[in-house]
């Protein structure tokens, strides 16, 4: 999932925004995955 890597890398941010505009469904999936990862207990990260 290269979009996740781009969202972490500031240089890839404009490309992420453009892909979000092009594909809202995958953007929603990425947001869900990121929120799930953020909410993990600290030892699992």
Residue pLDDT, tens place only, 1-45: 455 555 555 666 677 677 777 777 877 888 888 888 888 777 665
Residue in the block written with tokens 């990260």: 45
Residue 4: what pLDDT? 56
Residue in the block written with tokens 């947001």: 31
Domain that includes residue 11, residue range: 2-44
CB-based burial label for 29 (10 Å; 0-12, 13-18, 19+): middle
Q: In sequence order, what are the residues at sequence separation of 6 or more whose Cβ sits closer than 8 angstroms to the Cβ of residue 7?
A: 13, 16, 30, 34
Total tally of structural domains belonging to the chain: 1
- How far apart CA 22 and CA 27 sit, in angstroms, is 9
Phi, psi at residue 31, to the nearest 5°? Answer: -60, -40
């Amino acid at each position: 999932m290269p979009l996740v890597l781009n969202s972490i890398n500031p240089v890839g941010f404009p490309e992420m925004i453009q892909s979000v505009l092009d594909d809202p469904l995958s953007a929603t999936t990425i947001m869900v995955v990121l929120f799930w990862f953020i909410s993990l207990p600290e030892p699992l990260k």
